[in-house]
């Protein structure tokens, strides 16, 4: 069985993990910082880029949409494994990082949505065949 979009997901995931490790090292931590989130943003960006260039067939695009939809519950499940109480005891830096990441993700989602091609809406009332 061919699972379309899996190769693109795998590349984005590997890049996200590498970038998350690099970000963690740059911040002086021995952990991955946001690798899965970075991978998701890469997947969305790659899909938009390939779609605009006409390099993503309809079947592969549906596969990427599927993986994008299934990826969010995976991220939530991974976040549930983190120790939130210990992070909050770490001080205001954890709270600042949480608020900052929410604001940044909201801005990126807004930016990505603006990059999507707008679908024209049919005129109100639609095209009706009138038989009189």
Q: Each residue's pLDDT tens digit in the chain (132 positions)?
A: 356 778 888 898 899 999 989 988 888 888 888 888 888 888 888 888 888 888 888 888 888 878 777 877 776 676 666 666 666 677 777 778 878 888 998 898 888 888 877 766 655 655 555 554
**Do residues 15 and 26 share a domain?**
yes
Q: b/e per residue, 76-110, with b = 16+ CB within 10 A?
A: eeeeeeeeeeeeeeeeeeeeeeeeeeeeeeeeeee
Give 41's contacts (C-beta < 8 A, 6+ positions apart).
16, 108
**Do residues 13 and 27 share a domain?**
yes
| Residue 92, in any domain of the structure | yes
Question: Tell me: the pLDDT tens digits for 39-75?
Answer: 888 888 888 888 888 888 888 888 887 877 787 777 6
| Residue 132, in any domain of the structure | no
Domain with 103, as residue range(s), is: 83-115
**Do residues 28 and 92 share a domain?**
no
Q: Enter the tokens of residue 4.
A: 């379309």
pTM for this structure? 0.57
């Amino acid at each position: 069985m061919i699972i379309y979009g899996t190769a693109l997901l795998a590349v984005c995931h590997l890049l996200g993990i590498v970038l998350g490790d690099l970000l963690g090292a740059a911040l002086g931590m021995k952990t991955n910082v946001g690798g899965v989130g970075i991978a998701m943003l890469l997947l969305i960006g790659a899909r938009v880029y390939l779609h605009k260039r006409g390099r993503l067939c309809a079947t592969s695009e549906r596969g990427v949409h599927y993986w994008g939809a299934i990826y969010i519950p995976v991220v939530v499940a991974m976040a549930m494994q983190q120790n939130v109480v210990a992070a909050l005891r770490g001080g205001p830096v954890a709270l600042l990082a949480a608020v900052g990441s929410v604001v940044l993700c909201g801005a990126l989602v807004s930016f990505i949505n603006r990059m999507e091609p707008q679908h024209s809406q049919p005129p109100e009332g639609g095209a009706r065949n009138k038989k009189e």
